[in-house]
Amino acid sequence: MKTAWEKVQIARKIDRPKSSDYINAIFNDFIELHGDRNYGDDKSIIAGIAYLDEIPVTIIGEQKGKNAKENITRNFGMPEPEGYRKALRLMKQAEKFNRPIITFIDTPGAFPGIGAEERGQGEAIARNIMEMSNLKVPIICVVIGEGSSGGALAIGVGDKIVMLENAIYSILSPEGFASILYKDASKSKIAASEMKITANDLKKLELIDEIIKEPKEGITQKFEEITSELKKYIKTNIKDLQKLDTEMLLVKRYEKFRKIY
């Protein structure tokens, strides 16, 4: 059994598969679509359309780099407001064309910078959360690595929320938590276990629907095992969710978050 801190390390590994890897493995004919039609194209979020076998879907994924160079292009997977607005634009488009939405969550958090604040980071996140709660198509959210703070939740409101076994989902990084509550950033290990951030923790708290087991040999070694498992999960659930009428879909989604107290 791995400790929470060990999972933090695994979730952050640079060679752990990223959103683009899942997109390529699970879907066909992915066409990436760019830009928020307002300011720019944020490369820390990739988004577009693809086929899940025969079903057309919209995909949104937070994208970290696989090496130092790509990480600079991808801003280490920390979106700016235009990233969230691109995601929202394409999710609205998905609603228009009645396409289910799949999101992949993998971020250390929304980027804290001067430009991000000038362009309304808080507003961008708030609007995504609100709009996602009411989009008339099925939404499945998959936490594949690091799901940190509002930056993760901004693409994390859906009908089904699943986590990979070694992924984490937290209010902020264990380092940040330790420095705020213990006034000591070096206590991150303790913070990680106290914060309840592992897939098991979240399942127990009834905040996620499912844990997708990772291969014992390691996720990179047996990547096709986890992608076929994940594909099966996504497909089954999309089909089930598509059977619900829109009103029921939205009532259930509202209830899912409404009951969290």
Partner 1 sequence: MVIDKVKKLNEIETKPHKNTKASDMLVGKWVKCDKCKEIIYKEELHNNYSVCPNCGKHFRLSSRRRIKQIADEGTFKEIAGDIITKDPLKFEGYLKKVDILKEKTKLDEAVKCGTCEIEGQKAVIAVMDGNFLMGSMGSAVGERITIAIETAIQQKLPLVIFSVSGGARMQEGIVSLMQMAKTSAAIAKLNEAGLLYISVLTDPTTGGVTASFASLGDIILAEPEALIGFAGPRVIEQTINQRLPKDFQKAEFLLEHGFIDKIVERKDMKHMISTLIKFHTPTPKSEVKK
The footprint of partner 1 (CB under 8 A) covers 110-123, 125-127, 129-131, 133-134, 149-150, 153-154, 156-157, 169-172, 176-177, 180-181, 194-197, 201-202, 205, 207, 253-254, 257-258, 260-261
As given in the structure block, the two tokens for residue 123 are: 């507003």
Q: Which is nearer to partner 1, 117 or 240 (CB)?
A: 117
Give the span between the Cα atoms of 151 and 125, in whole angstroms: 7
CB of residue 70 vs partner 1: minimum separation in angstroms? 20
Q: Which is nearer to partner 1, 127 or 231 (CB)?
A: 127
Q: Which is nearer to partner 1, 112 or 228 (CB)?
A: 112
Q: Which is nearer to partner 1, 34 or 127 (CB)?
A: 127
CB of residue 59 vs partner 1: minimum separation in angstroms? 21
Give the span between the Cα atoms of 7 and 243, in whole angstroms: 36
Question: Which of 3, 14, 17 has the alpha carbon at shortest distance from 174?
Answer: 3
- The helix/strand count (H/E) of the chain reads as 12, 8
CB of residue 215 vs partner 1: minimum separation in angstroms? 26
Residue 32 backbone phi and psi in degrees, to 5: -80, 135
Give the span between the Cα atoms of 7 and 166, in whole angstroms: 5
Q: Which is nearer to partner 1, 175 or 229 (CB)?
A: 175
CB of residue 131 vs partner 1: minimum separation in angstroms? 7
As given in the structure block, the two tokens for residue 49 are: 């359309």
CB of residue 115 vs partner 1: minimum separation in angstroms? 8
159 residue type, one letter? D
